[in-house]
Amino acid sequence: MATDFVTFQRFNDQAAALALAETFKENKIEVELEDASANFDITFANNQIDKDYRVKLKPEDFEQANVLLRQQAEKDLLDIDPNYYLFDFSDDE
């Protein structure tokens, strides 16, 4: 039986959704993108906040995806200058 894809993360920015999907694809995690935005903006304001892009994964891939994102965040943290002012704050602050 085929496993259905389930929403892993939601974005209101298409580029961010595409970037996450590409990261998963590069790491051999099956991914599906869905544009669940309303078809018609009744305000005619073209409000980007109302956009809804969903990155979907198979439920059994959630843990692998979370581990991948955690590793990526840890690697990104090493690229930040150690003298960056936010590092001066304690966890309580």
The structural domains of the chain, ordered by start, are 6-88 (3.30.70)
Residue 36 is predicted with a pLDDT of 83
Cα 5 from Cα 30, distance rounded (Å): 9
Q: Which carries the bigger pLDDT value, residue 85 or residue 37?
A: 85
Question: Beta strands of the chain (E only): which ranges?
Answer: 6-11, 32-35, 53-57
Whether the model clears a pTM of 0.85, i.e. scores above it, the answer is no
Rg, C-alpha atoms of the chain: 17
Residue 51 is predicted with a pLDDT of 84
Tell me: the pLDDT tens digits for 19-73? 999 999 999 999 999 988 766 655 555 656 678 999 999 999 999 999 999 999 9
Tell me: the pLDDT tens digits for 3-31? 699 999 999 999 999 999 999 999 999 99
Cα 17 from Cα 20, distance rounded (Å): 5
Tell me the CA distances in angstroms from 24 to 6, 20, 78, one per residue in order. 14, 6, 21
